[in-house]
Amino acid sequence: MTTEVLGEGRFTRLVRERGWEYVERKNTSGIVIIIALTDAGELLLVEQHRPPVGSRVVELPAGLAGDIAGQEDEPLSAAAERELVEETGYSASALVELTAGPLSAGLSTEVVTVFGAVDVVKVGDGGGDHTEDIAVFPVPLAEVPEFLDARVAAGAMIDPKVYSALWFAERLARGGGAAGP
């Protein structure tokens, strides 16, 4: 089976295989998403401008693993903790792997690993690294739907993974994990 490279950047490669065009993720060992709950029962959400869609997008904290020179073998859990602190300014007392799967199986080779973070506490400012402008929103779990509606009314888009995360967040809040009580 021959794979033709159509274009390439620092973290992605566009390829064609048997007529199917898709994006390969490169120079990373994985992608992590964090569903983080504070002791007060708040879900940590972030919002940032995303050039591909030309809009600010409300998302879960997330990021790449193994993308830092010298840390190519970074464990996914370590990347999840690093990204949580970097993006939100919160740190978790515990992280649990909840699930893993493709983001867009028809377009990309990306597979994300979703972590639940509990007992998160504020340890810094958050907001991302020097290349990012991330707003952090600790939202009471019961108020997330109204918050999302308000962000849409203000012109933001909502990453659909946020809606899916509510299922896990409710179970984490009750002390459960992927299967929940």
pLDDT in tens, 71-127: 888 999 999 999 999 999 999 988 999 999 999 999 999 999 999 998 899 998 887
- The total of structural domains in the chain comes to 1
At 118 the pLDDT is: 86
What pLDDT score was predicted for residue 26?
87
Phi, psi of 37 (to 5 degrees): -120, 130
Q: pLDDT value at position 67? A: 81
So what's the pLDDT on residue 179?
44
Q: What is the pLDDT of residue 87?
A: 94
In a domain, 21, yes or no: no
Confidence (pLDDT) at 181: 37
What average pLDDT does range 128-135 have in this prediction? 81
DSSP calls for 41-67: SEEEEEEEEETTTTEEEEE--EEEES-
Task: Tell me what percent of the residues of the chain surpass a pLDDT of 70.
Answer: 97
Residues 1-11 have a mean pLDDT of 90
Average pLDDT, integer, range 11-18:
93
Is the pLDDT at 29 greater than 70? The verdict is yes
Q: Is residue 116 part of a domain?
A: yes
Query: Is residue 12 included in any domain, yes or no?
Result: no
User: What's the domain range around 147?
Assistant: 29-100+111-173
Calpha distance 174→181 (Å, rounded): 8
The proportion of the chain whose per-residue pLDDT surpasses 90, expressed as a percent, equals 75
> Domain with 37 in it: what CATH number?
3.90.79.10
CB 132 within 8 A of CB 51: no
Inside any domain, residue 72: yes
Q: Is residue 68 part of a domain?
A: yes
- Residue 25 contacts residue 111 (beta carbons within 8 Å): no
pLDDT of 22 over the 50 cut: yes
Name the pLDDT band for 146 (thresholds 50, 70, 90).
very high
Q: Note whether residue 93 is domain-resident.
A: yes
pLDDT averaged over every residue in the chain: 91
Distance CA 141, CA 148 (A): 11
Mean pLDDT of the region 54-80: 91
Is 178 inside any structural domain?
no
Instruction: Give me the sign of the Cα torsion angle 67, 70, 73, 76.
Output: negative
In a domain, 85, yes or no: yes
